[in-house]
Chains A and B, each alone.
Chain A
Amino acid sequence: EPEVTQTPSHQVTQMGQEVILRCVPISNHLYFYWYRQILGQKVEFLVSFYNNEISEKSEIFDDQFSVERPDGSNFTLKIRSTKLEDSAMYFCASSEGRSSGWSGANVLTFGAGSRLTVL
């Protein structure tokens, strides 16, 4: 079964450092997403990406965050200057397509997550 892979599984960093989280979406999927989940809290939307550009972002996704698809397979999330409150599980997801009348096109498949701990 196709899967979304994420690296690293866990990263510990010092406050103020830059972090890059990597994701390989499912190969025939066109839409890519980053979500985060602070321990004990809900899964929160950060950003969606399609056709090499951001299609939608949340208020959480401020100037310290950026996303990139540097090649044909990787999708990265960069946090420029980490803060303590950035500590969370970051999930990458991909989907086949957006609204097309078929809800299956919008099904998100998630990676196992990257746990970020900021000290």
Chain B
Amino acid sequence: RKEVEQDPGPFNVPEGATVAFNCTYSNSASQSFFWYRQDCRKEPKLLMSVYSSGNEDGRFTAQLNRASQYISLLIRDSKLSDSATYLCVVNPGRGGFKTIFGAGTRLFVKA
């Protein structure tokens, strides 16, 4: 099983649509979870951290299910500018330094 696994997509959605991405991780002891966004040929940039209680930042909602080792990202009212690759990121914590990136889910938002 891969350390961090994501649906590669691509997801092709119209503007205004709601889209959800899923991610699973293999290390049950993982402590910190994030969603990053990566534009073509650019560096990954933090979109949001993921907290156990779930958290929301504007149109973006992240959920964590530790029992199922599952993380999700929901994007509401998609914009053209949301087109990017979304990376699920897991940090083992407890002294671990090896933050692991999923392969990413590609999103295309069309007018």
Contacts and interface: CB of A to CB of B under 8 A. Distances in A.
A106 B43 contact: no
Contact of B99 (A104, A106, A111, A113): A106
Contact of B43 (A56, A104, A112): A112
A103 B33 contact: yes
B62 to A, nearest CB: 11
Interface stretch (A12-20, A42-50, A67-75): A42-50
B17 interface: no
Given A107-B46, A110-B45, A99 B99 contact: no
Given A43-B87, A43-B101, A56-B96, A103 B51 contact: yes
A66 to B, nearest CB: 17
B101 A33 contact: no
Contact of B95 (A43, A98, A103): A98
Given A103-B33, A107-B34, A45 B49 contact: no
Contacts of A107: 34, 46, 49
Q: How large is the interface on B (under 10, 10 to 19, 20 to 34, 35 or more residues)?
A: 20 to 34
Interface in A60-110: 89, 91, 98-99, 103-104, 106-110
Contacts of B94: 99
B42 interface: yes
Given A45-B98, A103-B49, 11 more contacts: A42-B101, A45-B99, A45-B100, A55-B97, A58-B98, A103-B33, A103-B91, A106-B32, A106-B91, A109-B46, A113-B43
Interface of A: 31, 33, 35, 41-45, 48, 50, 55-56, 58, 89, 91, 98-99, 103-104, 106-113
